[in-house]
Structure 1
């Protein structure tokens, strides 16, 4: 039995942060960062049966072309991803009445639609890009015991050699191959760099001195023997991939490129690019 302090439920039986009961969540879940983006996704649903929220965690569940979907906002960063992924798994795989793991553990599909900045000159603003791998420059996975695939271990070794001046070791997450094939056959793919902040951790200096002032240039020059390189920078994907793989869920991240860090350019029509990413994903579900 899971202790009450390990899995906290609200008075109505919903899970602590997401404010959801198991029946509120579909088994195909779209993650967005911004809570205001949830209705921008769910407006395309045929029907909406659940509208719930707490803090930055807003969920709409409904039907689209006969398929039940949930869209859920995570807020920003892998600290929030830690909450969201653990609570999604509990909603799916824990009996809330007895607080015992279900005998038949189940898997869900998790598709992130997020915004991102490119760090390669050949990826223009407005591109939709799929994350084949993600490198976590945060410390989230230092707190979990998890096995990694041979490909993930090999990539982690290459990243640690290239970024040898870091005071921490980045971790690797990978997309689910089936979802990558279903949603990203025609999209450019790459390695996504996940940072634990927007300013210093992404190489920005407004009124600060950065510990790693050449971070973007260093990331831009990374390439493996197989020709894989770091394409873009954001704040959630590595945590989504690593935790999803740990739990046995299938995950994929689709990035709407709104900025070019090399060209110092920001998108003139971000709402249109984000909407195109939403429609792209929904049309392939």
Structure 2
């Protein structure tokens, strides 16, 4: 059965609705960044750029770096944007837009997130690189999908017990990264751990301006969580949803973050731009 026009929305030129992309516009290796300005910071390293477009916060450059065809795309901030970006990228790779049906053969995309984050642990210093071995979803978006086969209930239950997680919030979800990509990007420069993904910047990450929090001590509980040596290294707004949707859709995903602050020590990087640039170079060279 063909996918309805209301479900798979295409622009008049045949591109997919939000990303403004056609299937031929993307590579199989895709770098995801939150900030649209970071797209050029990555694509400036390309030997050539074959395609560019932007619609809203979604900016895309596709080109070649050292003989490897790559796409870099900005997702904007938050789980809701990741839901748009990954579903539409998968549609570009695995749905025939003419018949509006899934293709007979499944194309596997590689998603590499290059982001910035703050460390929650003293042993993960500023200017370091963190690789997310797991994503800890504390925002609830993935519960709209059938996720039973990708979750890790032992870690989830330990986290729920440790934090006295409120029953009024969505159940936390833990999703593993791509082991293949982890091995490809690993080195002695990498710190590993559990990356928590919040659904917002203020209350969901424990920040208080004028609104009181349901659990004012949640950040401290997250800092001290330890499951068989697995600690929460950092807190951001995208990784768990990238991991969850990638696994559900049959793709590979890895999240890398440049650590520009350490909440445990109160330090902030003296040159955050430089550490991000180093992570970009590291990522590009590992991809080729």
TM-score over 0.5 for the pair? yes
Query: Is structure 2 residue 191 aligned with structure 1 residue 170?
Result: no
Corresponding residue of 2:114: 113
Q: Secondary structure at the match of 2:211?
A: coil
Corresponding residue of 1:240: 242
Query: Is structure 2 residue 227 aligned with structure 1 residue 221?
Result: no
User: CA offset at residue 266 of structure 1?
Assistant: 2.3
User: CA offset at residue 155 of structure 1?
Assistant: 1.5
Q: Secondary structure at the match of 2:226?
A: coil
Corresponding residue of 2:156: 156
Q: Secondary structure at the match of 2:6?
A: coil
Structure 2 distance, partners of 1:33, 1:165, is 28
Unaligned runs of 5+ in 1: none
Corresponding residue of 1:185: 187
Structure 2 distance, partners of 1:213, 1:164, is 12
Q: For residues 213-235 of structure 1, give each alpha carbon's deviation from its aligned partner in whole angstroms, at most 9, with x where no partner exists.
A: 112110011011x2111111111
User: CA offset at residue 268 of structure 1?
Assistant: 2.1
Corresponding residue of 2:282: 280
Q: Secondary structure at the match of 2:180?
A: helix
Corresponding residue of 2:132: 131
Map 1:231-270 → 2, pairs under 5 A: 231-270=233-272
Q: Secondary structure at the match of 1:284?
A: helix
**Equivalent pairs, count:** 283
Q: Secondary structure at the match of 2:230?
A: coil
Map 1:75-90 → 2, pairs under 5 A: 75-90=76-91
User: CA offset at residue 105 of structure 1?
Assistant: 1.1
Does the CA contact (< 8 Å) of 2:150 and 2:175 recur in 1? no
Corresponding residue of 1:48: 49
User: CA offset at residue 200 of structure 1?
Assistant: 1.1
Unaligned runs of 5+ in 2: none
Query: Is structure 2 residue 12 aligned with structure 1 residue 11?
Result: yes
Q: Secondary structure at the match of 1:229?
A: strand
Structure 1 distance, partners of 2:129, 2:257, is 6
Structure 1 distance, partners of 2:15, 2:5, is 13
Structure 2 distance, partners of 1:164, 1:209, is 18
Does the CA contact (< 8 Å) of 2:32 and 2:113 recur in 1? yes
TM-score (norm 1): 0.97
User: CA offset at residue 250 of structure 1?
Assistant: 0.2
Corresponding residue of 2:147: 146
User: CA offset at residue 142 of structure 1?
Assistant: 1.1
User: CA offset at residue 205 of structure 1?
Assistant: 1.2
Query: Is structure 2 residue 240 aligned with structure 1 residue 206?
Result: no
**RMSD (Å) for aligned C-alpha atoms:** 1.1
Q: Secondary structure at the match of 1:71?
A: strand
